[in-house]
Amino acid sequence: MRHRHLPAVALALGAVVLLDVLRVWLPSIITVFGRAAETPAELLGAFALGWFVLALAAPVLVRRLGARPVRLVAAGLLAAARLALTAAPGGRVQLWLACAGLVWLAATAATVVRPVPGLAFGLAGAAVGHALLGTEDLVWRGGVLGWTVSVLLVLAFLAASAATTDRAPGPAHDSSAPDRPAADPRSGPTGVRAWLLVGPALLVAGQLALAPAVWNASYSYGYGTSDFPGLALSPDGSASVIPAVAIGLFLAAALTRPPAWLGRVVWPAVLLAGAVLFAADRPNWLGWAYLLAALGLGGCLARTDTGPTHGAVADSAADRATGDGRRDAGAAQRGWAAVGGMLLFAVGCVAYYAAYDLGYPNGWVPVGTAGLIAVSAATGPAPAAPGLTGYARRLTALALAVLAGVAGALHRPEHPATPPDPRPAAVRVVAYNIRMGFGLDGRLDLDALARAVDGGRPDVVLLSEVDRGWLLNGGHDTLALLAGRLRMPYVFAPAADPVWGDAVLSRFPVRAGRTRPLAAHGAPTGAQALGVTLDLGGRELAVVATHLQPPPGQGPVAQAREVAAFATRYAAGRPLVLGGDLNTEPADPAFAEFTRAGLVDALAAARPLRTSPADDPRTQIDHVFVSPGLTPSEVTAPRTTASDHLPVAVTIALP
């Protein structure tokens, strides 16, 4: 490998490692520090900002000690934290380990002037790896495969970091390199603009442009029909090539010098269009938002790729004198820019998801972040030279695009269920709030979650708090991962936005479905009621799944009334099962709305049946109701800490 490629390789591998850590750090803020809505959003934001205290000192350390020793020590700490997270038991240990990474980024910024090639390959590589794992993080997997790949990744990162020098290669190292362009006075210190955009680029990529889980959700919406308006269904098993197209478009745009009119006008407009479509919260627009954002983000990053054309490292006069950037004022400014960009990343993440606690519109976050990148691309100087040069880069980009396509073929959903023969006399129902797949220890353990559900021997599963791509939760398609483990097709209905809501999994064929958004009545988080019709071999059963959201200081009485009315209308005289996290106790007025509608408490024989919190159940807020004529029995709420709720299971005998 040529010496001039090593900084980009080290940065790309480091970006993959850092993204692995960030996908643990982000949900740990909620599940470990915040205990899922028990800590005010403002305090969560303050904790996230505290993440920067040590990183702010990195540029000072670089100036005093030199970039290379600081960068190598920081790389070692990042690598150690990455491996320790796989072995960590969760809890506070996991939270503190996941705070690693920013010092390495700031130290790297001190010497790498052109981060765009390395960053582009790192973002693309991380997205492809996530897709190959079905959007599950390698950090959480463990086992022989998880440990082997993790160790190889970390060793490659450390080797590339150690082999990278902080002296820019001159013409003697690469005689084919073109001459440097004259510095553009608008660019300021070399590389600062690009490093400032690293954080916003991570946010847009992880939230939308290079998020495999978002594409999974979008892809499943495409299987809705007139019988399933606004619902996402398990795809029919065919592989999608769209992730490969998105990766290819992103890399082609990011690593190619665009014409002035394309880089200043078209790419910023395309990126903004993708962000606006995403913020519109329209499920059928997610696919277009994904593609446009990937293409626009790559093109806008290319516009910021300024600096020396034959070496990615700093080569100011001071650098040439010291070889390590120790006296380079530009190095310190790049370090500050990198930390400042990641500050924007943290603020954007927390601001987007805090909206569900504080109740303000959050669509401005992706649009504003994309707007910042777009403005920088439109007003910045012309890039130094085409980035996509040499066979190594072309082949790497092609390989990543091909692997993204392979990922679509590897993770095929379960085939649709077939009608039972003979017709069942009873149906086993499980209702479970899965807290986006995270247990009380703060770890994503989908196997434990599947065991908790499967232990109830379910025919039908009603899920609440289903996440299909929230960046703050790590960007997983929890529904597809869980459905694959249970071997049950799904129907998903959006609630807070197109990738967060409720789902029904069924071993019986689903013949129709409908969702009804519920009025907020002052609650900050959106809610809906999902009705599906199951074919029990010549007889139909209506099932309704919901998750009520009480307004502050009140019970969800109005929403309960809406759901009860929707369910009885949807059933239209057919046997009905309704369940989910209803956030109401049996003696509360909201609970009475269901019995007033003529429904029967299916868990009455087992009362009190406390389900939350899972480690010390004190409240009865997860329920199942049935229509008269259905006979419930075998009620259980098995103890598990795979979520912050316990699942409830009940057998429903059909008349």
Residue, of 30 and 531, whose pLDDT is higher = 531
pLDDT band at 122 (very low <50, low <70, confident <90, very high): very high
Residues of the chain within CATH 1.20.1250 domain(s) are 3-167+190-410
pLDDT band at 319 (very low <50, low <70, confident <90, very high): very low
Name the token pair of 191: 């590389």
Rounded Cα distance between 457 and 650, Å, is: 10
Rounded average pLDDT over 156-183: 59
Rounded Cα distance between 243 and 222, Å, is: 15
- Integer angstrom CA distances of residue 604 from 101, 291, 463, 519, 652: 51, 50, 21, 29, 13
Displacement of CA 439 from its chain's centroid (Å): 17
Instruction: Compute the Cα dihedral for 59, 65, 71, 74 and give only its sign.
Output: negative
* Cβ count within 10 A of residue 1: 9
Residues of the chain within CATH 3.60.10.10 domain(s) are 426-653
Architecture of domain 3-167+190-410: Up-down Bundle (1.20)
Rounded Cα distance between 137 and 152, Å, is: 16
Run of H or E residues at 567: helix 557-571
Which DSSP symbol is given to 17?
A: H
CB 44 within 8 A of CB 34: yes
Rounded Cα distance between 88 and 140, Å, is: 10
351-388 confidence digits (pLDDT tens): 888 787 777 788 899 999 999 999 999 997 776 655 55
- pLDDT averaged over every residue in the chain: 86
Rounded Cα distance between 16 and 22, Å, is: 10
Count CA atoms within 13 Å of residue 210 on its CB side: 32
Q: What residue type is 309 in one-letter code?
A: T
- Integer angstrom CA distances of residue 310 from 9, 113, 450: 15, 11, 52
pLDDT band at 464 (very low <50, low <70, confident <90, very high): very high
- Integer angstrom CA distances of residue 326 from 64, 195, 315, 329, 552: 7, 18, 12, 8, 54
Report the pLDDT value the prediction gives residue 417, as an integer from 0 to 100.
73
Q: How many residues does the chain have?
A: 655
**Closest of 105, 99, 69 to residue 81, by C-alpha:** 99
Run of H or E residues at 517: strand 510-518
Name the token pair of 98: 């996941």
Q: What residue type is 280 in one-letter code?
A: A
In CATH terms, the superfamily for domain 426-653 is: Endonuclease/exonuclease/phosphatase (3.60.10.10)
